[in-house]
Amino acid sequence: MFDKKKLTKINEDKQKWEETTLNKTLERFPERKDKFTTGSGEEVERLYTPNDIEEIDYNEDLGFPGKYPYTRGVQPTMYRGRLWTMRMYAGFATAEESNKRYKYLVEQGSTGLSVAMDLPTQIGYDSDHPLAQGEVGKVGVAIDSLADMEVLFDEIPLDKVSTSMTINAPASVLLAMYIAVGEKQGVSEEKLRGTIQNDILKEYIARGTYIFPTEPSMRLITDIFEYCSKNVPKWNTISISGYHIREAGSTAAQEVGFTLANGIAYVEAAIEAGLDVDKFAPRLSFFFNAHNDLLEEVSKYRAARRLWAKIMKERFNAKNEKSMRLKFHTQTGGSTLTAQQPDNNIVRVAIQTLAAVMGGTQSLHTNSKDEALALPTEDSVRVALRTQQIVAHESGVTNTIDPLAGSYYVEAKTKEIEDEAMEYINKIDNIGGAPKAIDMGYIQKEIMDAAYKYQKEVETDERIVVGMNKYKVEEETPKGLLKVDPAVGEKKKEQLIKLKQQRDNEIVKQKLSSLKKACEGDENVMPYIIDAVKVYATLGEICGVMREVFGEYEQSVRL
Amino acid sequence: MERPIRVLVAKPGLDGHDRGAKVIARALRDAGMEVIYTGLRQTPEQIVATSIQEDVDVVAMSILSGAHNHLFPSVVKLLNKEGIEDILVIGGGVIPEDDIPSLKEAGIAEIFTPGTPTTETIRYIKENVKR
Amino acid sequence: MELDKRILNGDKRACARLITMVENNEKEGIDIVKKIYKHSGNAHVIGITGPPGGGKSTLTDKLAKELRKRGKKVGIIAVDPTSPFSGGSILGDRIRMQDLATDPGVFIRSMGTRGNLGGLSKSTQSAIKILDVYGADYIFVETVGVGQSEVDIVKTVDTVVMIMVPGLGDDIQAIKAGVMEIGDVFAVNKSDLDGADKTALELEMMLDMGFKDDKKPKVLKVSSSKNEGVSTLLDEVISHMDYMVDTDKLQKRREENAKVEILNLVEEEIMQMVLGKTKTGQLLDEISKKTALRKTNPYDGKDIIVKSIKE
């Protein structure tokens, strides 16, 4: 990118500067630390110059927004055209209450819904299952059947909103329910917009809401790819998630490496199932974390975009430009929030919001300050949303595209993360792909090593977390936290009893048995699942049939 | 020879966030303890059966899903039903301060909230094991 | 009630507590083991060994479930390494045996190696006897599963199941010398993976070159995760026991095992005499120092130590 002669001169001048100016200062005023590191523990140089990015070729490595390799962004105008989608993840207790919260968020200017489901729903159990005890409605809304989905989206026109559902193992069942609700509202499948997370590999790695073993899980995912490419073309069929990998303690480079390795596994599975890469790849989307190290995070998003574009083009021979674009949702880092002095979390979230926006995110959820303590209250959710709005309208960072590009540090860091992530992908390829590497516990162990290192650094005060290991104060117990009514579980149980009395149980049985046959064979299971949800077969019944045929996943742990 | 303290690190309920449990498992190991780690989705019955067979000194549970008010006391109740009173039961996770008094009343000896250094948990265990 | 009687009555807590006492080398515990020893010897003790990642825990889980279907009581001892630095350990084999935890007919115990170099812990032998007296019909002993340690297991159990997985071709070559002579039954796990047939064939060919008894061990393919071939494997394990009983080899094998156990205890006691703060211990320190300074030599040193022990 630079003239060779000039680079030599800069290098000479830098050496001169180090020997004279710098060393004089260092003698009198040593630096605060021997070694400066990023939030991920990577060493950072004192000063970056053009020499650190001499190998970067502007046209090849950076290019222009909306053009390969998309380092500078996936759209030609980015936020000058349209701001990112401010999508707040919400949902708790019952469908009625969540519905109210969604309507509130839409009124407040939220432009997309994001549905949180409770753990029994995520693991395919109805609210009356013994393992659901104490969990119903706790971390999200409890969905047992289509009846709950109808209430959840009551008076919310599905042709107007885009809905993201954090659902993985039973993603096909919830998508089927969404399609059925749309149909009842008179909205046809091809008009539905939204995303299902549908990323089982990171469940095995980091998040834990898996049900079935790897093979049938991958089949369910490719069935969704195929069904949607034909029938629900505007639906994002998967959100390949690094978020939870990072939450589990990974570094930024691991977040990119492991997430893209999972992405590769999905693409390979779909190609193997006979799908055309350019038919399904444009509907793939990603989901990343935003931590506090602003410049490292911005570099991370840029690196991920460039690397994925190359992988799609070079490894999978994608021809459609849309297949090469890495679109991503961001959530600010839950694990960066402190239970101590929770107000400080507002500042952290603001920095993380800046990172996501300067990194070119397509949508963003900002965490609320009280989330290290409990589920967020309406007030704290509002502040979190306002944070996005302030960055959007007041900070000025949205005025120009990819504003940190050209920073010697950010460009060098982008390259460094890209290289390190690629190294992980190569290692995983050598093992035989992400599913195998997960089975062996390799990925989990790499993440755990990073998490434990971080924990030790905090405990030895090598790393400062404000309010936690430094600048501490005596605090009063925080008041006014959100509480979920423990009676929700009982209420849901009663509803289930009623549902099973009111529906046509004979037809439910028929549909479930057809589904079973489809699972045993190799037909696409989506139409069968849609048939079953329409007659009000419950989530637990449908997943129960699949458990019978597919078996259950066994966790791989290497500590 | 000083005998190692045996600890069952358990994840009750459906919550899949095991970073905290794994970090504490490693920290306890590095503090010279024998840690029995049983993975995700443990029922109170499994936790109690395991504590008996493994003859542990401590049961350390972690929950981030909010189901602690139900699951923690269930474990203590079942232990007591088996006539076991010499196992130290502790808990950790995203647990609101308001819930702590009732959990302690139910027999959870101590609750460790986010940000607690592992050294603090180790110290607590060493000082409070019952046998 | 006394601990020994409670164990004879099948009391899990008593059983668990006695294992702890023995692990901690408490005299009281060892006295109880002495007392109950005569009641042991009824269980079929099966070693499960093989390379890490071979699926030992999952296979043990499936074998145990199969035995439960047949109405048998099962004991499982799962050994994991103790960190030489901290003395602590993470024992994680139960993750693969979750459903068994609450089964009244199953007792699972995780043990750290606690400084023992083999793939077992020093107290594994006693733990086996305790589970035997407690009433387990079958006892599985799952080793750490790294290289050399496998040799220990053969001197501890009645039947060794050696687990192999496809894709370790070179490793088979490397470890065959140690491995081939300790397996009584060979299981090629993950039989759904490519190369399972090849691995099985290689094993067969190696066994054709020689095996320790007059009965050539069988090589069976299983898939522990899919629960395929487990029942057949169990039948083969049981038939190995029948064969040993019929040919009187069981008595011989148990004699051998007892000899090793006694020798281990003797060695341990001598080591305790020599090391530590005993008179001999001090003597050893002095002689070592002199040897290093070339004022004496290791051979004369040995004579002095042996003489001191004899006194």
Q: What's the pLDDT tens digit per position in A443-486?
A: 999 999 999 999 999 999 999 999 999 999 988 777 777 777 77
Q: Which of B7, B9, B15, B22 to mutate to test the interface with A (most CBs of A within 10 A)?
A: B22
Q: Least CB-CB distance to A459: which of B17, B43, B117?
A: B117
Q: Least CB-CB distance to B65: which of A119, A130, A339?
A: A119
Distance from CA of A340 to the nearest CA of B (A): 8
Distance from CA of C24 to the nearest CA of B (A): 6
**How many other CB atoms are found less than 10 A from the CB of residue A19?**
10
**How many other CB atoms are found less than 10 A from the CB of residue C296?**
16
Element (H, E) at C48: strand C44-49
**SS3 at position C187:** strand
Distance of alpha carbon C72 from alpha carbon C137, whole angstroms: 6
Output B104 or C197, whichever has higher pLDDT: B104
Output A302 or C168, whichever has higher pLDDT: A302
Q: Which amino acid is at C29?
A: G
- Same domain for A43 and A129, yes or no, is no
Work out the average pLDDT over C133-154.
Answer: 82
- Same domain for A23 and A118, yes or no, is no
**Does position C175 have pLDDT exceeding 70, yes or no?**
no
Contact: A135, B115; criterion CB under 8 Å: no
User: pLDDT digit string (tens) for C96-107?
Assistant: 999 999 999 999
- Same domain for A19 and A147, yes or no, is no
ipTM score of complex? 0.95
Number of domains in chain A: 2
**Does position C34 have pLDDT exceeding 70, yes or no?**
yes
Q: Which of C123, C110, C112 is nearest to C29 (CA)?
A: C123
Instruction: Determine contact, residues A167/A142, Cβ cutoff 8 Å.
Output: no
Work out the average pLDDT over A492-521.
Answer: 96
Res B97: pLDDT:
87
Res A357: pLDDT:
98
Q: How far is CA A193 from CA A84, A189, C43, in A?
A: 16, 9, 63
> Which chains does chain C touch, 3 or more C-beta pairs < 8 A?
A, B
In the structure, what pLDDT confidence band is assigned to residue B115 with cuts at 50, 70 and 90?
A: confident
Res C146: pLDDT:
59
Contact: A138, B67; criterion CB under 8 Å: yes
Q: Least CB-CB distance to B70: which of A134, A338, A481?
A: A134
Between chain A and chain C, the number of residue pairs with CB atoms below 8 A apart is: 12
Most trustworthy range by pLDDT among A89-98, A365-374, A498-507, B63-72: A498-507
> Which chains does chain A touch, 3 or more C-beta pairs < 8 A?
B, C
Average pLDDT over chain A, rounded to an integer: 94
* A514 assigned to some structural domain: no
Q: In B, which residues are within 8 Å of C13 by CB distance?
A: 52, 55, 82, 84
Q: What is the CATH number of domain B6-128?
A: 3.40.50.280
Contact: A559, C58; criterion CB under 8 Å: no
- Same domain for A165 and A310, yes or no, is yes
Per-residue b or e along A469-494, where b marks 16 or more CB atoms closer than 10 Å to that residue's CB:
beeeeeeeebeebbebeeebbebbbe
Q: Least CB-CB distance to A559: which of C53, C90, C225?
A: C90
User: pLDDT digit string (tens) for A209-230?
Assistant: 999 999 999 999 999 999 999 9
* A454 assigned to some structural domain: yes
Supply A542's token pair: 């449908």
Res C271: pLDDT:
85
In the structure, what pLDDT confidence band is assigned to residue B1 with cuts at 50, 70 and 90?
A: very low
Work out the average pLDDT over C218-231.
Answer: 89
Kindly give, in sequence order, each residue whose CB lies less than 8 Å from that of residue B62, ignoring residues fewer than 6 positions away. B9, B10, B11, B18, B20, B21, B24, B91, B92, B93
Domain edge (last residue) among A413, A439, A459:
A459
In the structure, what pLDDT confidence band is assigned to residue C178 with cuts at 50, 70 and 90?
A: low
Q: Which of A209, A185, A145, A9 is nearest to A537 (CA)?
A: A145
Distance of alpha carbon A280 from alpha carbon A238, whole angstroms: 10
**Beta sheet of B110-112, edge-to-edge order:** B110-112, B88-93, B58-63, B6-10, B34-37, C89-91
* A500 assigned to some structural domain: no
Distance from CA of C52 to the nearest CA of A (A): 10
Q: In B, which residues are within 8 Å of C25 by CB distance?
A: 1
- Same domain for A48 and A78, yes or no, is no
Instruction: Determine contact, residues A499/A541, Cβ cutoff 8 Å.
Output: no
In the structure, what pLDDT confidence band is assigned to residue C166 with cuts at 50, 70 and 90?
A: confident
Domains of chain C: 39-248 (3.40.50.300), 275-310 (no CATH)
Contact: B97, A207; criterion CB under 8 Å: no
Res C168: pLDDT:
61
> Which chains does chain B touch, 3 or more C-beta pairs < 8 A?
A, C
In the structure, what pLDDT confidence band is assigned to residue A136 with cuts at 50, 70 and 90?
A: very high
Res C155: pLDDT:
87
The greatest distance separating any two alpha carbons of chain A, rounded to the nearest whole angstrom, comes to: 88
Res C148: pLDDT:
54
**SS3 at position C4:** helix
Instruction: Determine contact, residues C94/B10, Cβ cutoff 8 Å.
Output: no
* A555 assigned to some structural domain: no
Res C147: pLDDT:
57
User: pLDDT digit string (tens) for B29-58?
Assistant: 999 999 999 999 999 999 999 999 999 999
In the structure, what pLDDT confidence band is assigned to residue B71 with cuts at 50, 70 and 90?
A: very high
* A492 assigned to some structural domain: no
Instruction: Quote the Cα angle for B61-B62-B64, to 5°.
Output: 150
Res A186: pLDDT:
96
Domain edge (last residue) among A417, A438, A459:
A459
Instruction: Determine contact, residues A62/A405, Cβ cutoff 8 Å.
Output: yes
Q: Which of A1-15, C12-26, C197-211 has the lowest mean pLDDT?
A: C197-211
Per-residue DSSP letters for A467-519?
A: TTTBS----PPP-------TTHHHHHHHHHHHHHHHS-HHHHHHHHHHHHHHH
Distance from CA of B9 to the nearest CA of C (A): 10
Q: Which amino acid is at A357?
A: V
Q: Which of A523, A521, A520 is nearest to A545 (CA)?
A: A520
Res C150: pLDDT:
64
In the structure, what pLDDT confidence band is assigned to residue C191 with cuts at 50, 70 and 90?
A: confident
Kindly give, in sequence order, each residue whose CB lies less than 8 Å from that of residue A63, ignoring residues fewer than 6 positions away. A69, A70, A71, A72
Domain edge (last residue) among A397, A428, A459:
A459
Q: Mark out the alpha helices in chain B (DSSP H runs).
A: 19-30, 44-54, 68-81, 100-105, 118-128
User: pLDDT digit string (tens) for A234-256?
Assistant: 999 999 999 999 999 999 999 99
**A335 and chain B: CB distance < 8 Å anywhere?**
yes
Q: How far is CA A143 from CA A95, A137, A140, A505, in A?
A: 7, 9, 9, 19
Instruction: Quote the Cα angle for A457-A458-A464, to 5°.
Output: 110
Q: Which of B9, B36, B75, B87 to mutate to test the interface with C (most CBs of C within 10 A)?
A: B36
- Same domain for A446 and A316, yes or no, is yes
Res A521: pLDDT:
96
Q: In A, which residues are within 8 Å of B117 by CB distance?
A: 458-459, 469
Residue A37, domain extent: 4-53
Contact: C225, A559; criterion CB under 8 Å: no
Kindly give, in sequence order, each residue whose CB lies less than 8 Å from that of residue C42, ignoring residues fewer than 6 positions away. C132, C137
Supply C203's token pair: 């094993």
**A458 and chain B: CB distance < 8 Å anywhere?**
yes
Res C169: pLDDT:
53
* A269 assigned to some structural domain: yes
- Same domain for A46 and A73, yes or no, is no
Instruction: Determine contact, residues A519/A549, Cβ cutoff 8 Å.
Output: yes
Helices A294-310 and A408-431: crossing angle in degrees, nearest 10, is: 50
In the structure, what pLDDT confidence band is assigned to residue A391 with cuts at 50, 70 and 90?
A: very high
* A142 assigned to some structural domain: yes
Q: Least CB-CB distance to A481: which of B13, B96, B119?
A: B96
What are the domain boundaries of chain B?
A: 6-128
Specify which residues C162 forms β-bridges with: C49, C186
- Same domain for A331 and A206, yes or no, is yes
Q: Least CB-CB distance to C90: which of B35, B49, B82?
A: B35
